[in-house]
Amino acid sequence: MSTPLLKVKNLKKYFVIKTNLIGQPLLHLKAVDDVSFELEEGKTLGVVGESGCGKTTMGRAILRLWDVDGGEVIFNGDNIESITKKQMRKYRTQMQIIFQDPYSSLPPRMNVGSIIAEAVHVHGIIGGKPIGFYELVIDPCVKVIDRFIVQPIAKFVVKPAVKGIKFVVHSLRYKLCKKYKAKFDEQKAEQERLEEERRNRPLQETIVQSEENQEKKEVVSQGSQKIIDETKGLKRPYFRCSTYTKNLKRYTIEVMRECGLQAHFYERYPNEFSGGQRQRICIARALAVKPRLVVCDEPVSALDVSIQAQIINLLEDLQENFNLSFIFISHDLSVVHHISNDVAVMYLGSIVEKGPKISMFKNPLHPYTQALLDAVPEPDPRAKKEKNFLKGDVPTPINMPKGCKFCTRCEHVLNICHEIRPELVEVEPEHFVACHLHFDYFALKGEEISQEEKERLYKKFEKIAIQEELPKTEEEKLIDEALKSEEN
């Protein structure tokens, strides 16, 4: 196994949700609680779990968009949780994120070119100094001139002038229309007279006369068209001070093409695109800074199915071309199955099962993973499979169960599950699961617990599935009585 690009060790992120009068935390919400995994270069780790189980928080904590409350994130051999924010700058380009909602993750007042080129410009991705004389002096001056001179002129001089011109043009048009209407009435009267004449003439003459009339009609319609063409709405004046070099523009368009966006989209704004196109813009923005790791936070869940397939294929192509590593967060198991090499299942801030994709989908070991797989809709309506759907709600991350976090919803819950939290252990090659059903908890702790104590605890946590006895139906009672009387 090669050295992993990313190692996450015991990552914790707790949100303070209640403080005392002097601001000391009283209550925590454990959004990410002791998460560990590794990711190799060029590979994809799929992260699945119900809404609110901490997937997004984990992704953000890995990129250090949140300050964490414990654990390590080792990227390319460096622990990025222990470095300063200034030192973190060099890793910013290497680690990128694609957000879930392509509608709210793009600034509405920037055009596509500026959105993609901004980080490239700031981090000096296309060579040269990131911030030079131009950016420090000329660019701000141009912006000031634009803001305080060009824009006010556009707003208070050009705009009223254009309005005035429009008014004049409209009144002219009205007058012209009136004039042409009179002409048109004349033409019509003439036409009617000619028609009347035609009716009273012999056949041969009528044909010749009608051809003449046609010519006249055309003259009238050409005249009206001319007025319409001349008085079409004038375009608003448009001022823009470009701050990016030609090279930057060329590079941006190259990245756009790579992500399936046409070059003429450069000047357009996010509100002019469909959901799929917007997500392509988000992907282009992330890709433009040449990252090595991309956290894809549910990148397709806001899109319709055909667009989902396009985006997934695009991500796969980009991964192949640029040797990218993905943390692909999703609640859609079919998408995760398609794109991932390894899969991790999260529940209430912790990973409950992780392993290679094939092993995870063929032989899911944790009851929660099994329930998630059962919840995937079957395309064939005739296929009948016994399904084990999840019951109840996810407990609050503020007050989690003492033992296994899944014990309130698990069908196979044991006594031990209410007392002791299972650890993540390897039960198959590279396949880890945190469930008492699959390992002997005390065997792991054997060195610390005496034999007698172990036996006592074993008795206490005797593995008996808790199954409430359902009251018998009348029919069952009758059958029981009949069997008893037969025995007697």
- Residues forming contacts to ligand ADP in the complex (CB under 6 A) are 15, 29, 31, 49, 51-57, 397
Segment contacting ligand SF4 (CB under 6 A): 74-82, 126-134, 255-263, 431-439? 431-439
Q: Per-residue string for binding with ligand SF4, 434-453, x by CB under 6 A? A: -xxx----------------
Please state the closest distance from residue 373 (CB atom) to ligand SF4, in A.
14
Question: Contact 41/94 with Cβ under 8 angstroms?
Answer: no
Q: Is 371 exposed, middle or buried (0-12, 13-18, 19+ CB in 10 A)?
A: buried
Residues in the chain: 488
Which of these, 361, 274, 268, 347, lies nearest to 311 by C-alpha position?
274
Q: How far apart are CA 308 and CA 280, in angstroms?
A: 11
Question: Contact 30/86 with Cβ under 8 angstroms?
Answer: no
Q: How far apart are CA 186 and CA 385, in angstroms?
A: 82
Please state the closest distance from residue 464 (CB atom) to ligand SF4, in A.
12
Q: How far apart are CA 93 and CA 289, in angstroms?
A: 5
Beta bridge partner(s), residue 73: 8
Q: Which residue has the tokens 């009608």?
A: 210
Count CA atoms closer than 13 A to 478's CA, side-chain side.
Answer: 3
52, interface contact from Mg ion, ligand SF4, ligand ADP, none, CB < 5-8 Å by kind: ligand ADP
Q: Which is nearer to ligand SF4, 278 or 409 (CB)?
A: 409
Q: Which is nearer to ligand ADP, 335 or 416 (CB)?
A: 335
Q: Sign of the C-alpha dihedral, residues 222, 227, 233, 234?
A: positive
User: Does the protein bind Mg ion through residue 56 (CB under 5 A)?
Assistant: yes
Which one of 422, 424, 431, 432 is in contact with ligand SF4 (CB under 6 A)?
422
Rounded to 10 degrees, the C-alpha dihedral 310/312/318/321 comes to -100
Segment contacting Mg ion (CB under 5 A): 53-61, 64-72, 204-212, 252-260? 53-61
Q: Which is nearer to ligand ADP, 17 or 141 (CB)?
A: 17
Please state the closest distance from residue 329 (CB atom) to ligand ADP, in A.
7
Helices (H), 35-158: 55-62, 85-92, 112-122, 133, 139-145, 151-153
Site for Mg ion in 267-326 (CB under 5 A): none
What are 163's two structure tokens? 């309005």
Segment contacting ligand SF4 (CB under 6 A): 174-182, 199-207, 280-288, 433-441? 433-441
335, interface contact from Mg ion, ligand ADP, ligand SF4, none, CB < 5-8 Å by kind: none
Please state the closest distance from residue 81 (CB atom) to ligand ADP, in A.
18
Q: Which is nearer to ligand ADP, 56 or 279 (CB)?
A: 56
Question: Contact 292/41 with Cβ under 8 angstroms?
Answer: yes
Q: Which is nearer to ligand ADP, 55 or 409 (CB)?
A: 55
What are 488's two structure tokens? 């007697």
Question: Contact 37/344 with Cβ under 8 angstroms?
Answer: yes
Q: Per-residue string for binding with ligand SF4, 262-301, x by CB under 6 A? A: ----------------------------------------
User: CB 234: neighbour CB atoms within 10 A?
Assistant: 11
413, interface contact from ligand SF4, Mg ion, ligand ADP, none, CB < 5-8 Å by kind: ligand SF4
User: CB 111: neighbour CB atoms within 10 A?
Assistant: 17
412, interface contact from ligand SF4, ligand ADP, Mg ion, none, CB < 5-8 Å by kind: ligand SF4
Q: Which helix H or strand E contains 14, and what residues bound it?
A: strand 6-19
Q: How far apart are CA 301 and CA 286, in angstroms?
A: 18
What is residue 207's three-state secondary structure?
A: helix
Please state the closest distance from residue 298 (CB atom) to Mg ion, in A.
6
Please state the closest distance from residue 433 (CB atom) to ligand SF4, in A.
8
Q: Which is nearer to Mg ion, 56 or 93 (CB)?
A: 56
User: Does the protein bind ligand SF4 through residue 365 (CB under 6 A)?
Assistant: no
Which one of 68, 324, 404, 424 is in contact with ligand SF4 (CB under 6 A)?
404
Please state the closest distance from residue 296 (CB atom) to Mg ion, in A.
11
53, interface contact from ligand SF4, Mg ion, ligand ADP, none, CB < 5-8 Å by kind: ligand ADP
Interface residues with ligand SF4 (CB under 6 A) are 366-367, 404, 406-407, 410, 412-414, 417, 422, 435-437
